[in-house]
Amino acid sequence: MAVLPPDATFDDFVSYTESLRGPLEPVALEELWEWRQKLLGIRIDTGRGFRTQLPADEQHLTREQRGRKAEAEAKAGGRNIERLPDKAYF
């Protein structure tokens, strides 16, 4: 049997699980179902949406690399860049 699709019902899950593991207690099936629901709810944020808003030549750069690039461009434009202290107390 193929992998169970994300939109499978509890009954589909029970038949799939019992075909792989044999008969299980109802409590164990409910716990496995809850675990499956939690796993299906996980989403990984890769920052792809934010990166698409950047210029094409900066989309592959890290935040630190983009900062260094902006600093280099500012210096090339004749601006004086002074870094703030690590911990500025106001």
Q: Where are the alpha helices (DSSP H) in the chain?
A: 10-21, 26-40, 48-51, 63-76
Q: For the chain, which residues make up each domain, given as ranges?
A: 10-40, 46-76
Tokens 């094409």, residue? Answer: 56
Q: Tell me the per-residue pLDDT of 71-88, one tens digit each, with 9 for 90 and over.
A: 999 999 999 888 777 776
Global pTM reads 0.51
Higher local confidence (pLDDT), 1 or 55: 55
Cβ partners under 8 Å of residue 25, min gap 6? none
- Output DSSP code: residue 86: S
